[in-house]
Amino acid sequence: MSSPKQGILALEDGSIFRGIAFGADATITGECVFNTSMTGYQEIITDPSYFGQIVTMTAPQIGNYGITAEDDESRLPVCAGLVVRELSPIVSNWRGQIGLHDYLLKYGIPGLSEIDTRALTKKLRVEGAMKCCLSTLPISDEEAVRLAKTGRDIKGADYVKEVSAKEPYIWHPDDPKNYNAPFLPVGTTMNAPGIPAKRFRVAAFDFGAKHTIFRKLIRHGFDVQVFPSTYTAEQINEYKPDAVFLSNGPGDPAALPYIHKTVSALLPNYPIFGICLGHQMLTHALGGTTYKLKFGHRGGNQPVKNLETGKVSITAQNHGFATDARSIEKAGGKVTEINLNDGTVEGLRHTSLPVFSVQYHPEAAPGPNDADPLFVDFYKMIEARKAGKI
């Protein structure tokens, strides 16, 4: 047996997990979080919201189906590191293009396998998300723990500027590399609703947006112009959009005052829809506050109840911060959806303006598509606005 290369994960509390190295040779630090999705590791590692984080997959068999370009959620994978129980030695799927190891190697991301991810997850659940150091290089335990402790704190960190688009650009509906068509196997149509004939112009802020959000906007009748996070309300006005979209993104939502200000300025003038960090930006723009959750919600099975309809959707989530319910009610917002597991805020809307947002990911990828109709709601909201009804 050729002895496999060892790797180490050190947590800031001094605990050490040893495993087998894969992906790139590197030593990195970041916040260690766990994701409970059973599928979708590719979408997770390419979701810019994981910037600066080391993702532990609770599902034990990872890499089985490989990596395929159309499932990427950004141009590059941006998570800091990946921790798994077992890495597949082969790719077995009709769409698979390359293996997970090769992919991470290509982008310089280190991974660890044969870690007791359940023990790690329980630790994070009990003690909360922690700073950690993952190394696939020879490094002493003490050094790794020291690096973990001195790693950057996510609280107060502006990670958005690291992952946001540098320049505005159009998300082309016809560019094959954008994979805008819904994924359906040959022979299956599932009677997908047609794209509305009338298209609306949406100014989409990229705080670290997942590409499927743009794909879904295209499919639901929007022309998508993407803007960097630093763009001001005036710059957006110049584009003359029908509506504004606020994307997901990484880091602490409280550490982004410049975005809060921009969104505040846009509020009275446009229908606005926000997702994840976008929801938190709306919270702050309205005058509410956010706080850090102990270990966050990351997975594809989170039950969210819509307080207005009483219906529960199973949603995809990835967030470590949440909107403070009381703060938002005080600021004139209305909590519309809550997480049934812990009662945290999952959706809000403005009491008078056509503005709403959700903490979860209606674009799925990975995760359930149950909340897809929110894009329709957004479209209808703009129609109503145009018709002078709101």
Partner 1 sequence: MPKRTDLQSILIIGAGPIVIGQACEFDYSGTQACKALKEEGYRVILVNSNPATIMTDPEFADVTYIEPLTVPMLEKIIEAEKPSALLPTLGGQTALNLSMELHKAGILQKHGVEMIGAKPEAITKGEDRETFKQAMLKIGLDVARSATVKSMEEARAAAEKLGTFPLIIRPSFTLGGQGGGIAYNKEEFERIVANGIDISPVHEVLVEECLLGWKEYEIEVMRDRKDQCVVICSIENFDPMGVHTGDSITVAPAMTLTDKEYQVMRDASFAVIREIGVETGGSNIQFAVDPVTGRMVVIEMNPRVSRSSALASKATGFPIAKIAAKLAVGYTLDELKNDITRVTPASFEPTIDYVVTKIPRFTFEKFPDADSALTSAMKSVGEAMAIGRTFKESFQKCLRSLETGARGFGGGGGKWGGDELPDDQIIKQKLGTPNAERVYYIRYAFLAGYTVEQIFNITKIDRWFLTQLQEIIQMEQDLKKQTLADIDAFTLRRAKQFGFSDAQLAHILKSDLATVRAHRKKIGVNTTYRLVDTCAAEFEAFTPYYYSSYGDENEILPPKGKRKIMILGGGPNRIGQGIEFDYCCVHASFALREAGFETVMVNSNPETVSTDYDTSDRLYFEPLTLEDVLEIYQQEGCEGAIVQFGGQTPLNLATALKANGVNIIGTSPESIEAAEDRKLFSAILNKTGLKSPAHRTALTEADALAAANEIGFPVLLRPSFVLGGRGMFIVYTEEEFKNVVRQAFDVMPDKPVLIDKFLEDAIELDVDCISDGDTTVIGGMLEHIEFAGVHSGDASMVMPPHTLGKAMLQTVREATKALARELNVIGLMNVQFAIKDNQLYVLEVNPRASRTVPFVAKAIGIPLAKLAAKVMTGAKLKDLGFTREQTPKHWCVKEAVFPFVRFPGATITLSPEMRSTGEVMGLDEDLGIAFAKAQAAAKPGLPTSGNVFLSVKDSDKTRAVELARQLETLGFAIYSTSGTAQHLADNGVKVNRLAKINEGRPTAVDMIKNGQIQLIINTPGGMIPRKDENKIRSAAYAHSVCIMTTITGAQAAVNGIKALLNKKVGVRPIQKYVGNVQLV
Q: Which residues are catalytic?
A: 276, 361, 363
Phi, psi of 80 (to 5 degrees): -80, -35
- Structure tokens that stand for 324 in this block: 């403070």
Nearest to 132 by CA among 85, 87, 86, 81: 81
Cα 155–chain centre separation? 17
With CB under 8 A as the contact rule, the residue among 13, 25, 38, 255 that binds partner 1 is 38
Q: Using CA of residue 197, residue 74, residue 157, residue 258, what is the dihedral sign?
A: negative
Residue 152: CA atoms inside 13 Å, Cβ hemisphere, count?
A: 15
Interaction of residue 387 with partner 1, rule CB under 8 A: no
The interface mask with partner 1, positions 261-300, x = CB under 8 A, is --------------------------------------xx
With CB under 8 A as the contact rule, the residue among 156, 193, 303, 332 that binds partner 1 is 303
Interaction of residue 64 with partner 1, rule CB under 8 A: yes
The residue range among 116-124, 159-167, 223-231, 348-356 that interacts with partner 1, by the rule CB under 8 A, is 116-124
With CB under 8 A as the contact rule, the residue among 53, 117, 327, 344 that binds partner 1 is 117
Across 101-117, b (16+ Cβ under 10 Å) vs e yields: bebbbeeebbbbbbbeb
Shortest distance, position 367 Cβ to partner 1, whole Å:
7
**Which residue shows structure tokens 């993407």?**
226
**Cα separation, 50 vs 348, whole angstroms:** 24
Pairing between β-strand 222-228 and β-strand 200-206 as defined by DSSP bridges: parallel
Touching partner 1, residues 192-211 (CB under 8 A): 192
**Cα separation, 361 vs 213, whole angstroms:** 9
Q: Taking the CB of residue 307, how many other CB atoms lie within 10 A of it? A: 13
The residue range among 74-82, 184-192, 197-205, 249-257 that interacts with partner 1, by the rule CB under 8 A, is 184-192
Shortest distance, position 196 Cβ to partner 1, whole Å:
19
State the DSSP code for 372: T
Interaction of residue 160 with partner 1, rule CB under 8 A: no
Question: Which residues does 271 contact at the CB level (< 8 Å), separation at least 6?
Answer: 242, 243, 244, 354, 355, 378, 381, 382, 385
Shortest distance, position 299 Cβ to partner 1, whole Å:
6
CB 254 within 8 A of CB 158: no
Interaction of residue 141 with partner 1, rule CB under 8 A: no
Touching partner 1, residues 82-101 (CB under 8 A): 85-86, 88-90, 92-95
- Structure tokens that stand for 275 in this block: 């997702």
- How many residues touch partner 1 (CB under 8 A)? 62
The residue range among 111-119, 127-135, 282-290, 373-381 that interacts with partner 1, by the rule CB under 8 A, is 111-119
Nearest to 8 by CA among 113, 128, 85: 113
Q: Taking the CB of residue 238, how many other CB atoms lie within 10 A of it? A: 11
Shortest distance, position 134 Cβ to partner 1, whole Å:
17
In terms of CB distance, is 94 or 197 closer to partner 1?
94
The residue range among 153-161, 349-357, 361-369, 379-387 that interacts with partner 1, by the rule CB under 8 A, is 361-369
Residues found near partner 1 in the complex (CB under 8 A) = 1, 17, 34, 36-40, 42-43, 58-61, 64-65, 68, 71, 85-86, 88-90, 92-95, 116-119, 121-122, 125, 183-192, 299-303, 305, 310-312, 314, 340-341, 364-369
